[in-house]
Amino acid sequence: MVHLRGHGLPDDVYEQYDLATIEDQLIEIIEQKGLGAFDGNEMGPKETILFMYGADAERLYSSIESALRNYPLCQGAKVILRYGPPGSEQREILL
């Protein structure tokens, strides 16, 4: 899961960069490498969460990390790698 900040970034970031662009980039990476699936987003007033699933959370993250770090809308995002179903061990990464 990637938790994008819904506020707190410079206004021009929210004006110039859109959610669809980073979603398209992530879908392309995940599909090309056969890593799993992009499963959509959940938008709230304070954050947007992007959902991705795959057999290997570390491999999935290492493949999309560069796209996340290079897209300004992802500044300060929180990535949660979960190693199984809800309640499983997880690791948090701040971008």
pLDDT in tens, the chain (95 residues): 999 999 999 999 999 999 999 999 999 999 999 999 999 999 998 999 999 999 999 999 999 999 999 999 999 999 999 999 889 999 999 99
State the total domains in the chain. 1
| CATH code for the domain in which residue 71 is found | 3.30.70
Start-to-end CA distance of the chain, whole Å, equals 13
Residue 10 is predicted with a pLDDT of 95
Q: Write down the pLDDT at residue 21.
A: 97
For residue 90, the Cα-to-chain-centroid distance in whole angstroms is 15
Phi, psi of 75 (to 5 degrees): -55, 135
Spatial CB neighbours of 93, under 8 Å, sequence gap ≥ 6: 61, 78, 79, 80, 81
What pLDDT, on a 0 to 100 scale, did the predictor assign at position 45? 87
Q: For residue 36, give its domain range.
A: 2-94
Total count of residues recorded for the chain: 95
Rounded Cα distance between 2 and 78, Å, is 6
Both tokens of 41, joined, read 């987003």
